[in-house]
């Protein structure tokens, strides 16, 4: 990533909304006896607002991923999701998040296959030579099923928290229409999809094989994804956590279509698609492991091939309860969790400083702070949640912030010193523990 030297986007520092200031004041009281953790929370909780959020003149909001001058649909949602519970009575937060939702719908209507966008039609691109149907608005066009799921997640949670329906305009409905159409098309990728992606002179994980179409898949009812949430190419293109997320998103969109738009025909269409995808997950996405029993695969192709692993990025198998697909005590999830938090997961690492899940996106032996935060957020016990907070606190390399990956033996060796998504997820975990009275 360091090879790119595009101009930085000017992001004026926002005045923090009153609700955010109140949370920071409460942390001062609750975490006074843990000064390092307090400092980290005070750094990470407002980090998105202080460094990556730009209010645009058209009433929308642009949220940088951090050290890259572009907005990812996925990242931008996770960068602000921890503010949603405080938006009901805070007009400033409503302006920020309502504007971000409208920006998402604008982008989806432009190109539902893109994962990251520019603030303007400036023709900036991750790689200007990508062979795909690019646009001046698009920073990168890796089709990742989870991207549009996150757009719906933010809209649904914002609506439920605030009761505001002004986001449900014609652009929102047309974006939902595009989402459903793309997901239906990608149920039969090779027969119906126009999407192709090829990048030259790059690692294999940055491009799709088979002339940009990806490896062959069989019809399963699930919907195809070119790339994982890490922006790495799938091995087998039915990504199970993303399909789970699509099921949850379709349930949310059905509520929006019913109560926001009074469109029963669209509700019925979404319900049918939800059931098809969910049936595919249960039929093709569950395998029997010799040690852990019935577990979810990470990916499958519908031909009987699958990969058994978990990656640090959300959606992941670890994040299933966080996504809302199944509860934390679901037996298959519990079996899966034991597998992915063991050395049988090829991207689980144990070192002198920490143990946890990493990613093929970073070198072997690197653990991701996001995975530790997600392990805490989905923990089945208070003890595990507190252990994750302690591990996160001890692996920040005394920077006061979270990173992408860090070496499991030496946290001072890390990638991406400015990674707002990771900061936000950590803040969400600490906030959850505070609200449960675990850090007093």
- Average pLDDT for residues 209-220, to the nearest whole number? 98
pLDDT band at 2, cuts 50/70/90? very low
Residue 4 pLDDT > 50: no
Catalogue all structural domains in the chain, each as residue range(s) with its CATH number. Answer: 18-435 (1.50.10.10)
What pLDDT, on the 0 to 100 scale, is given for residue 310? 98
- pLDDT tens-digit series, residues 375-425: 999 999 999 999 999 999 999 999 999 999 999 999 999 998 889 999 999
What pLDDT, on the 0 to 100 scale, is given for residue 8? 67
Over the chain, what is the mean pLDDT? 96
Residue 288 pLDDT > 60: yes
What pLDDT, on the 0 to 100 scale, is given for residue 176? 98
What pLDDT, on the 0 to 100 scale, is given for residue 440? 86
Residue 271 pLDDT > 80: yes
What pLDDT, on the 0 to 100 scale, is given for residue 7? 57
Closest CA to 302 of 188, 205, 206, 400: 188
3-state SS, one letter per residue, for the chain: CCCCCCCCCCCCCCCCCHHHHHHHHHHHHHCCCCHHHHHHHHHHCCHHHHHCEEECCCCCEEECCECCCCEEHHHHHHHHHHHHHHCCCCHHHHHHHHHHHHHHHHHHHHCCCCCEECCCCCCCCCCCCCECCCCCCEEECCCCHHHHHHHHHHHHHHHHHHCCCCCCCHHHHHHHHHHHHHHHHHHHHHHHCCCCCECCCCCHHHCCHHHHCCCCCCCCCCCCCCECCCCCECCCCEEHHHHHHHHHHHHHHHHHHHHHCCCHHHHHHHHHHHHHHHHHHHHHCEEEECCCEEEECCEECCCCCEECCCCCCCCCCCCHHHHCCCCCCCHHHHHHHHHHCCCCCCCEEECCCCEEECCCCCCCCEEEHHHHHHHHHCCCCHHHHHHHHHHHHCCCCCCCCCCCEEECCCCCCECCCCEHHHHHHHHHHHHHHHHCCCCC
Residue 294 pLDDT > 80: yes
pTM of the model: 0.97
pLDDT band at 66, cuts 50/70/90? confident
Q: Please give the share of the chain, as a percent, with pLDDT higher than 70.
A: 98
């Amino acid at each position: 990533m360091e090879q790119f030297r595009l101009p930085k986007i000017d992001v004026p520092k926002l005045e923090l909304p009153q609700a955010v200031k109140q949370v920071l004041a409460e942390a001062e009281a609750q975490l006074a006896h843990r000064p390092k953790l307090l400092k980290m929370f005070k750094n990470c909780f407002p980090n998105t607002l202080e460094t990556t959020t730009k209010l645009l003149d058209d009433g929308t909001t642009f949220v940088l991923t951090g050290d890259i001058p572009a907005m990812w649909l996925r990242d931008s949602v996770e960068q602000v999701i921890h503010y949603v519970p405080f938006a009901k009575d805070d007009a400033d937060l409503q302006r920020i998040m309502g504007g971000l939702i409208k920006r998402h719908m604008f982008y989806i209507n432009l190109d539902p296959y893109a994962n990251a966008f520019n603030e303007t039609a400036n023709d900036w691109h991750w790689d200007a030579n990508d062979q795909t149907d690019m646009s001046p608005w698009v920073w990168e066009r890796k089709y990742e099923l989870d991207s549009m799921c996150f757009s719906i997640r933010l809209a649904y949670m914002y609506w439920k928290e605030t009761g505001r329906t002004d986001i449900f305009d014609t652009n929102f409905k047309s974006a939902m229409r595009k989402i459903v159409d793309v997901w239906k098309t990608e149920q039969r990728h090779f027969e119906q999809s126009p999407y192709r992606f090829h990048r030259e002179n790059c690692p294999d994980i940055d491009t799709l094989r088979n002339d940009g179409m990806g490896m062959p898949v069989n019809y399963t009812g699930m919907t195809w994804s070119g790339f994982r949430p890490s922006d790495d190419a799938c091995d087998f293109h039915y990504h199970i956590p993303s399909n789970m997320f699509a099921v949850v998103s379709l349930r949310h969109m059905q509520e929006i279509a019913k109560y926001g738009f009074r469109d029963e025909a669209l509700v019925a269409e979404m319900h049918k698609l939800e059931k098809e995808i969910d049936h595919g997950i249960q039929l093709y996405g569950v395998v029997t492991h010799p040690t852990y029993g019935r577990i979810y695969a990470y990916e499958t192709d519908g031909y009987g091939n699958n990969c058994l692993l978990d990656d640090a990025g959300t959606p992941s198998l670890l994040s299933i309860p966080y996504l809302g697909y199944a509860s934390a005590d679901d037996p298959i999830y519990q079996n899966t969790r034991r597998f992915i938090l063991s050395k049988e997961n090829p991207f689980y690492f144990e070192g002198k400083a920490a143990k946890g899940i990493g990613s093929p996106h970073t070198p072997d032996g690197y653990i991701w702070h996001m995975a530790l935060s997600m392990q805490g957020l989905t923990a089945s016990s208070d003890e595990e949640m507190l252990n994750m907070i302690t591990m996160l606190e001890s692996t920040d390399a005394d920077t006061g912030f979270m990173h992408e990956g860090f070496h499991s033996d030496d946290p001072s060796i890390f990638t991406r010193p400015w990674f707002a998504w990771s900061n936000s997820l950590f803040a969400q975990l600490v906030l959850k523990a505070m609200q449960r009275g675990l850090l007093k």
